[in-house]
Amino acid sequence: MSRQTFATRRGRGADATRRRGSGVASLLRLALRRDRILIAVTLVLVWALNYYSAEAMGSLYPHPADLVAANTAANASTGVVAMYGHISDVGSVGGVGSTKMAMINFIILAFLVVALVRRHTRAEEETGRQELIGSAPIARHAPLTAAVLLAGATSVACGLVTWLCVWAGGWPSAGSMLYGLALAGVGLSFTGITAVAVQLSANNRTCGIWAFSAIGLSFVLRMIGDVYWNRPAHVLSWLSPLGWGQQVRPYDGNHAWALVVPLAFFAATVTLAFVLLSHRDLGAGLFAERAGTAHTRMGSAAALAWRLQRGSFIAWLACYVIFGALAGGMSGSMQGMINADGEAMLRAMGGVGSTTSTSR
């Protein structure tokens, strides 16, 4: 082989490498185009929830004494604390409002990033589109990189929207910024978790089960940690990505240092995902799918439907049982909360005149 031929081939190889590197930007644009409506709808939902909640909190509790009384009663209810978290500063409108809205925002964003990462990685492999894309000069890691960048940018955008909304609603600027950063940190954490689940699972359905189970487990750990606020079990909140967002405590101490935990976790899980990606084949997971049973108990359509849907059925049943127990736990504190700020709530909803207690 002549020197000229070798140099020509080496130059072509360098050009191909550069083209493979540009594949990330192309895939990112494609993913954003496919999911632009879903992302936009979520951003509007986050904006509406946070902006109108921030505005309503000021009119709902016109007197500081009403605010303290209502939220002291909320902290005394195991069900309320398990659902929303412990209100650390019962006298701060921003602290109370962010506690009540944080868990809703966290879960919405967690579900969104799980869907985005799965859709542009494992789902693409199952349909064969990623193999088709791989025939072009695109790097092996490009689809995962694009999916992580899309989910990460969406998390940051949701955090930015939340920050601006609650700040426009009249909450303090420093706490509002940390509130938005806490939301972004939760989204980044579940982006990393899903990226790892993609590499381990044998198919898209299993990946979804693992990722959504991680959300459920995080909620349970956070719930136990908040219920046992002043006990050793409170450390369980630090094992939950949902709990990490609460530990920032916007409007009550502003613990900006707590943001290091989700950022470090995101970096670690994404790095692990890329390492695992290099050790698996396209369309396969590091954990092989279980072999089917040797007997023929699935002799009917109902039996087949049960086998395919039993995991989802059991998971949803467990969710309903947990939330039913939480609702029952909250009912005991409703009387105290209504007595504390019932008149203010009625006036905020448009009532006029005086109110009369009918409790006996």
Query: Domain for residue 329, yes or no?
Result: yes
In the block, which residue shows the tokens 């709990």?
A: 243
Res. 11 pLDDT band, cuts 50 70 90: very low
Burial classification of residue 255, based on how many CB atoms lie within 10 Å of its CB (0-12 exposed, 13-18 middle, 19 or more buried): middle
Amino acid 294: pLDDT: 57
Query: Domain for residue 316, yes or no?
Result: yes
Mean pLDDT of 49-63: 79
Mean pLDDT of 10-31: 64
Query: Domain for residue 84, yes or no?
Result: yes
Q: What is the mean pLDDT of the chain?
A: 79
Query: Domain for residue 166, yes or no?
Result: yes
Burial classification of residue 277, based on how many CB atoms lie within 10 Å of its CB (0-12 exposed, 13-18 middle, 19 or more buried): buried
Render 231-265 in DSSP notation, one character per residue.
SGGGGGGGG-HHHHHHHT-TTTT--GGGGHHHHHH
125 neighbors 117 (Cβ within 8 angstroms): no
The CA–CA distances, whole Å, from 114 to 50, 211, 303 equal: 22, 7, 30
Helices first, then strands: H and E counts in the chain: 15, 0
Query: Domain for residue 212, yes or no?
Result: yes
Query: 173: Cβ–Cβ under 8 A, 6 or more apart, which residues?
Result: 167
The whole domain housing 241 covers 23-288+301-348
Query: Domain for residue 337, yes or no?
Result: yes
Phi-psi region of 317 (alpha: psi -120 to 50; beta: other; left: phi over 0): alpha
Query: 273: Cβ–Cβ under 8 A, 6 or more apart, which residues?
Result: 144, 148, 192, 195, 196, 198, 199
Query: Domain for residue 277, yes or no?
Result: yes
Domain count, the chain: 1
201 pLDDT higher than 90:
no
Query: Domain for residue 356, yes or no?
Result: no
How does pLDDT run across 259-305, given as a tens digit for each residue? 999 999 999 999 999 999 888 877 677 766 666 565 666 667 777 77
35 pLDDT higher than 60:
yes
pTM: 0.79
In the block, which residue shows the tokens 């960048």?
A: 149
